[in-house]
Structure formats: C-alpha cells, structure tokens
Amino acid sequence: MWVVVLTAVLGVSMVAAVALGATVIPPSDTVRHLTAALTGGTVPAEDSTTYQIVWQVRTPRVLLAAVVGAGLAVLGVAVQAMVRNALADPFILGVSSGASVGASAVVAFGLFGGLGLYALSTAAFLGALGASVLVYVAARGRGGLTPLRLVLTGVALAYGFQALMSVIVFFAPFGDAARSVLFWLLGSLGGATWGSLPIATVAVVGAVVCLLGRARALDVLSLGDETSAGLGVDAEALRRQLFGLTAVVTGALVAVSGAIGFVGLVLPHVLRILVGAGHRRVLTVAPLAGAVFLVWVDLASRTVFAPRELPLGVITALIGVPVFVVLLRRRAYLFGGGR
C-alpha cells in the first residue's frame, strides 16, 4: 500500500515541481512539453522558451532531487544498521567533511580547473573517497571494524577535515570563497544538468538493489555481533561491505548536491514507525519517501524567496529538527522502532 501511495505521490510531486517556480507553467502545458520531449514530438515556435525551461532547466533538477533524496534515505537506513546507532546518518563517517575539502580547494584555488563544470564534483568525490579510506584505516583495529570505533573515528576526523577546509578558505585569494563553500556545504541542486544524473542514478539504484538483497542480514546485524555470529551472519564482513557501499554512494551524491543533512537521519525513523522495523519493508519505501521529500524541499528552496535560493540543508533542518524532537517526546524511541 505504501509503495503504491508513495509512487503516485512522487509522480504528482515531480510534475508539480517542474510546473512551479519563478515562472509558473500550467500543469497541462508542463505535461504537454514533457510528452513532446519523451516521444520526440514537436512544440510550436512560440512555446520554445517554455519548453526549454521545462525540459532543460527544471526536469533534470527535479529528477536529481528525487535521486539524491532516495539515496540519502536508503543510506541512512544502512548506516544506522551498520553502526547500531539511532543518531547515525550517511555523513557521520566524515564523508561530507572530506568532500568539503575537495570542493573548497576548487572554489578557492581553481583545482581541477581543466575539468570545467565537473571540477567541483570531481574534487568533492575524490575528497569523500579519501576521507572514507582514512576513516577505515584509522577505525580498523585488532577487534575489527567495530561500530563504536567507526563512529568515534568518523566524528574525530570530520573535525580535522573541517579545520583543513577552514584553512583553505582562510587563505583563498577570493573574498567570496567562504560564501560559495558554505552554500555548497548546506546543499544545492542549482547546478543540476542532464550530465549530472547518470552516475548518481546508477549509484543509488545499485545501492537499493544491494541493500534489499541483504535485508535479512541487516535485521540480524542490528541485534549485535554475537547474535549475528550465532545466526550465521559475518558481522565484520557485512560491515566492511556496508562501509564501502556507503562511502562510494555518499561521495557520488555529495559531489552533485553538497551535504544535505537530516534526510538520512530522520526519514528512517519515521518509516520504521509507519511500516515496521524490518529492513526489507523500510528499504522498499525509503527511496520513494526520500524522493518525495527532497523534491518538495528543493521546490521550496527555489520558490519561497525567489529569485534567491535557500540552501537545501536549511530547509531539511527546519523540518527535521522538530520532527525528530516530536518522535523522541511522543515515544521512548529505540533503534529499530521499539517502545
């Protein structure tokens, strides 16, 4: 039922997000232009400007919002199972902080300038992967890759990456570097193009398929390493797989959208309340719920104070903080949706 409802809501939301903006396009015209683009049809010459807005500007941005939202929601479920921590999200392992170092280097010093429009995304992705490698090496000890070591190492190195980013911005030759880096850190889809969709889409689809195939193992992993061993699940090997998957996919998402907080933290808890704690159920609806949520967040970011845009992270925080506090106050919430 939830899959059917959320799929219908997502379809309506995406059409609405394409139609609405600084220039409001009637839904009928929006559907007509989308149909023409998808079927290879033609549009009258007088509608060419509207067609370009619909197909070249808003459609890739809305699709990217859906992909990023779906990815962050799914990764939030995976990370919370991996570290058995209800406060975990895809950025807790220092991935976003590492990406911020790469992004700030591009903004401040023009690193990878030869890549043109892809310089920022490339540097952010490489920074995210580099941070993940450092966290993995530092967190892995004699006892293996334990949840507590992962969280503590990720948080500690995140502060180090943030300090390095601050140093880069401080010595930047351009005065507006800090503003540009801050806007990117809080998340934005303003640079969305058709070219930024394929890699992010493939990464998210691969993550969803991979995690759904390990849904039962995730259920067992959330019970603890000793219980997992008794039930035939190698917790250490599964945690390594989840760490690698999370690092790569989070890096791909951060590279195209910046760090958008609270999506991967709050949505998994809300979904566990709605559909139960079983990971197969949660992972089935999480991509749809995350996509719907971020499509509307992005729409609000570009319309509330148009023509200026609010960073996505500001809106997700304004929504996520009250929701999370309400969840904690209304029930003694434990990881997995217990009472």
- pLDDT tens-digit series, residues 163-188: 998 888 888 776 666 777 777 778 88
The pLDDT, as a whole number, for residue 77 is 93
Token pair in block for residue 212: 């759904």
Whichever domain contains 200, its CATH number is: 1.10.3470.10
* 31, part of any domain: no
Query: What share of the chain has pLDDT > 70, as a percent?
Result: 95
The pLDDT, as a whole number, for residue 331 is 55
Distance CA 157, CA 170 (A): 20
In eight-state DSSP terms, residue 194 is G
Which residue type does 228 have? S
- Mean pLDDT of all residues in 233-240: 88
- Mean pLDDT of all residues in 59-79: 95
Which residue type does 154 have? G
Instruction: Assign 55 a pLDDT band (cuts: 50, 70, 90).
Output: very high
- Mean pLDDT of all residues in 25-52: 88
- Mean pLDDT of all residues in 146-159: 88
- CB-CB neighbours of 332 under 10 Å: 8
Predicted confidence (pLDDT) per residue in 131-140, tens digit: 989 998 888 8
3-state secondary structure (DSSP) of residue 157: helix
**Which residue range(s) make up the domain with 139?**
65-330
Instruction: Assign 335 a pLDDT band (cuts: 50, 70, 90).
Output: very low
Highest mean pLDDT among 106-115, 176-185, 289-298: 289-298
Predicted confidence (pLDDT) per residue in 250-259, tens digit: 989 988 888 8
* 324, part of any domain: yes
The pLDDT, as a whole number, for residue 175 is 65
Lowest-confidence region among 127-131, 152-156, 182-186, 260-264 = 182-186
Distance CA 116, CA 180 (A): 17
The pLDDT, as a whole number, for residue 91 is 84
Cβ(222)–Cβ(89) under 8 Å? no
* 57, part of any domain: no
Overall domain count for the chain: 1
Lowest-confidence region among 44-58, 95-109, 231-245, 299-313 = 95-109
Q: Bigger pLDDT: 222 or 55? A: 55
pLDDT at 282 exceeding the cut of 80: yes
Cβ(95)–Cβ(128) under 8 Å? yes
pTM: 0.90
* 120, part of any domain: yes
The answer for residues whose C-beta is within 8 angstroms of residue 250's C-beta and 6 or more apart is: 71, 75, 90, 91, 93, 95, 96, 128
- CB-CB neighbours of 144 under 10 Å: 14
In eight-state DSSP terms, residue 41 is -
Average model confidence (pLDDT) across the chain: 87
pLDDT at 276 exceeding the cut of 80: yes
The pLDDT, as a whole number, for residue 336 is 46
The pLDDT, as a whole number, for residue 79 is 92
Cβ(294)–Cβ(315) under 8 Å? no
* 230, part of any domain: yes
pLDDT at 18 exceeding the cut of 90: yes
The pLDDT, as a whole number, for residue 11 is 94
Which candidate, 244, 277, 262, places its Cα nearest to that of 314?
262
pLDDT at 268 exceeding the cut of 50: yes
Cβ(284)–Cβ(268) under 8 Å? no
* 185, part of any domain: yes
* 295, part of any domain: yes
Token pair in block for residue 250: 């989070």
* 103, part of any domain: yes
**DSSP string for 51-71:** HHIIIIIIHHHHHHHHHHHHH
